[in-house]
Structures are given as structure tokens and as C-alpha cells.
């Protein structure tokens, strides 16, 4: 394991007024969204679209002003000089593409998940640190106004101690050819939990149950559970087969409970001053049984949120991280924490729901105390 420099000491920094040059690799589902946001950002100059299918790349490039297209990274690096690469290719290719870009000295942002194996993710994180490059995970939901507000509310103790997190992400979705429903949908919820909790996503074990009622060869319905600090619990429900689309996260706190309904643009966040009041001082079973339980029924309020595209905030964060304004809030280590939970979930699923240990990675940071 290498020793990782302090986040703001490690980067090959660029002047704050210099426009950064970027190439988007992958012209499938997510690539067009990345390309559009890089093109619209004053921080970036979109220099290329890279895809083995040139015709598919041209469909993205032409509406954006005939951005040059390339069939491979080798062609790109031979014909143009870019500062960074944004990767939107299948998960199984993330490691190879990211390593090729970083070996060429390019900063990298990778669509979720960071890689498809823990060891590959570790190699990516350590190489970026040793080379002084920014490696960032495109955890898009973390840059929504709702997630940013939730992070703020938890940081200022508006919810109190987190008692539980329950997340539902279900819809009649596309069954992916290379990953199951956990690897497809759960990274969104896991990355948000990692983003909003002060200590990040650090469970010791996880348990996963899944079902394949279609006989597709992979889990199409799944439940993932793991512990949170202070004897709290998180539960994530993911499903490709639901005719009803739900994207909702409930965060129960000792002071207030927050509900994030991502499909309700008029009121994405609701904060409820309701809950259970119970004295925690008692230690024996008899004392706990005798405790008086009271219920708090207070007001409900909804904070005002700006309407802005999360990807626009993500590409700005990528630029700020490269320039050393601040380390990315969804950097490589965040991507690695999410990846470790996904890999543990796969092991649990293979073991019929038995708890599986989550790999932990704690780099040594130079220049910190």
C-alpha cells in the first residue's frame, strides 16, 4: 500500500483561470449527458468524444458543434492534448480505461461504479495518488440540491443522531447485460449515504437478499442491509420489475425525520418534527422495560431548493479538484468505499444472505495530523 499525500498537496494543479480540456469516453447511455454538461461549462473545453462506434460518437458530437471523434484513447492522445478524461463505458472496462488515461497523465472522472473489483479500485486510487492526479467518481446524485441540503442539515445536527436510513429505488428498468440490480441501482443510494454522513460509508458487514423471478441469471429484485454508527441501521430496496417508479430515502433522526422524494419536484425534501422520545440513561433490561415512551408530533417543513442539474455541479467539482480549490467530495476513496460494499453484497448474495465482511482501505495521509 502506498502512502497517499495530503489531498491538496498531491495534485498537479492548474491555474484557476485556465480552461481545462476534456474528452468523454463512451457514447452510450450516459456519455451524451456528460458531453452536454462539459460543453455547457465555462470551466471546460470539450475536445473529443471517444467510442469504438464512430457513428454513435458522431451522433453526440454533431449537435455539440462537431466535436472531434476518435475510436480509441490511443488515437485521442496521438491527435489531441487533453487534461482530463470522463469515462462512461461499461463497468467491466472502467479499470482499464482509467489506468490507460492516468498512465498518460490525465485526470479522470469515472461513472459509477469505480471499477468492477475491489483490487482494481485500490490500484486506481493508489496510482492516482502516486501520480498526483485527480481520480473522481461520478456519483451524480450527491450533487443534486437535495443531497447537498441533506448533508448540510446532518452536519448542523438538525436531524440529531441518525437512527435509521431506509431507501427505495424501484422502477420497470432495463435489465443490464453485465451487472445485477445491486450493481446497477444501489451505487446511487450508497454514494448518497457516504456523502451525507460525516464519517462516510463504513459498515463492517453487509447482508444482501436477491431474487431472479424472470430467470435472467442475475438478481432483479434485492434488499441490502448494514449497520450504521450508534447501533443504527440502513436498508436499501432495489428492483427492476416494479411498474411504479419510486426514488425515496427516509432518514430518521433523534430530533427530526427527513424524507427525500426525488420524483416530487414541488417538495423533494420534507422534514418532520415527529418521533419517539425515550430516555437512554437506563442500562438494565428491567429499567429499559419500565421506561416511559412519549411521541413527539410537531411541524413539517420543506426547505426551498434551487433547480439545477446535478451533472453541471459535478463537472465544476471535477475542475475545482484538479485546480486544488478543494478535494472532490466524491473522490476515488468515496468510489472505493461504495465499491467495497457492492463487492461484499455480491458475496452475501452468493452465500444466501449471510453477512459478508466489507473490505476497508485506510490510506496514510502525509501532511496531516
pLDDT tens figures, 143-183: 999 999 999 999 999 999 999 999 999 999 888 878 999 99
What are the structural domains of the chain?
A: 4-140+311-366 (3.40.50.720), 142-305 (3.30.360.10)
Supply the pLDDT for residue 221. Answer: 97
Supply the pLDDT for residue 173. Answer: 81
The pTM assigned to this predicted structure is 0.89
- pLDDT tens, position by position, 268-305: 999 999 777 766 555 565 555 556 667 777 789 999 99
Three-state secondary structure along the chain?
Answer: CCCEECCCCCCCCCCCCCCEEEEEECCCCCHHHHHHHHHHCCCEEEEEEECCCHHHHHHHHHHHCCCCEECCHHHHHHHCCCCEEEECCCHHHHHHHHHHHHHCCCEEEEECCCCCCHHHHHHHHHHHHHHCCCEEEECHHHHCHHHHHHHHHHHCCCCCCEEEEEEEEEEECCCCCCCCHHHHHHHHHHHHHHHHCCCCCCCCEEEEEEECCCCCCCCCEEEEEEEECCCEEEEEEEECEEEEEEEEEEEEECCCEEEEECCCCCCCEEEEEEEEEECCCCCCHHHHHHCCEEEEEEEEECCCCCCCCHHHHHHHHHHHHHHCCCCCCCEHHHHHHHHHHHHHHHHHHHCCCCCEECCCCCCCEECCC
Mean pLDDT by runs of 10 across the 369 residues of the chain is 41 67 96 97 97 96 96 92 96 97 97 96 97 97 97 96 97 86 97 96 97 93 96 97 97 96 95 76 57 74 92 97 93 97 98 96 53
Amino acid at each position: 500500500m502506498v502512502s497517499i499525500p495530503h489531498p491538496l498537496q498531491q495534485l498537479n494543479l492548474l491555474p484557476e483561470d485556465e480552461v481545462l480540456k476534456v474528452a468523454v469516453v463512451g457514447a452510450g447511455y450516459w456519455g451524451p449527458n456528460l458531453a452536454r454538461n462539459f460543453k455547457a461549462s465555462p470551466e471546460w473545453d470539450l475536445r473529443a468524444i471517444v467510442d469504438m462506434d464512430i457513428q454513435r460518437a458522431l451522433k453526440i458530437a454533431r449537435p455539440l458543434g462537431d466535436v472531434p471523434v476518435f475510436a480509441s484513447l490511443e488515437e485521442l492522445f496521438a491527435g489531441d492534448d487533453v487534461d482530463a478524461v470522463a469515462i462512461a463505458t461499461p463497468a467491466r472496462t472502467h479499470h482499464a480505461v482509467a489506468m490507460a488515461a492516468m498512465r498518460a497523465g490525465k485526470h479522470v472522472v469515472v461513472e459509477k461504479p469505480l471499477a468492477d473489483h475491489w483490487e482494481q479500485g485500490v490500484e486506481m486510487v493508489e496510482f492516482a495518488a502516486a501520480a498526483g492526479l485527480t481520480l473522481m467518481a461520478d456519483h451524480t446524485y450527491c450533487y443534486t440540491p437535495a443531497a447537498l441540503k441533506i448533508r448540510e442539515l446532518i452536519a448542523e445536527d438538525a436531524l440529531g443522531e441518525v437512527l435509521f436510513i431506509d431507501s427505495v429505488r424501484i422502477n420497470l428498468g432495463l435489465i443490464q447485460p453485465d451487472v445485477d440490480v445491486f450493481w446497477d441501482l444501489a451505487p446511487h443510494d450508497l454514494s448518497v449515504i457516504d456523502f451525507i454522513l460525516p464519517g462516510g460509508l463504513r459498515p463492517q458487514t453487509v447482508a444482501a437478499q436477491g431474487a431472479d423471478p424472470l430467470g435472467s441469471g442475475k438478481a432483479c429484485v434485492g434488499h441490502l442491509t448494514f449497520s450504521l454508527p450508534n447501533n443504527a441501521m440502513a436498508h436499501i430496496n432495489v428492483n427492476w420489475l416494479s411498474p411504479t417508479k419510486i426514488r425515496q430515502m427516509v432518514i430518521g433522526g433523534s430530533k427530526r425525520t427527513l424524507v427525500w422524494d426525488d420524483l416530487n419536484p414541488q417538495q423533494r425534501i420534507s422534514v418532520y418534527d415527529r418521533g419517539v422520545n425515550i430516555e437512554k440513561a437506563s442500562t438494565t433490561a428491567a429499567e429499559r422495560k419500565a421506561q416511559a415512551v412519549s411521541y413527539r408530533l410537531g411541524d413539517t417543513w420543506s426547505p426551498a431548493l434551487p433547480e439545477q442539474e446535478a451533472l453541471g455541479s459535478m463537472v465544476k467539482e471535477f475542475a475545482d479538484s484538479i485546480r486544488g480549490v478543494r478535494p472532490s467530495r466524491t473522490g476515488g476513496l468515496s468510489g472505493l468505499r461504495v465499491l467495497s460494499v457492492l463487492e461484499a453484497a455480491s458475496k452475501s448474495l452468493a452465500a444466501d444472505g449471510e453477512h459478508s465482511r466489507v473490505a476497508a482501505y485506510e490510506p496514510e495521509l502525509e501532511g496531516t495530523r
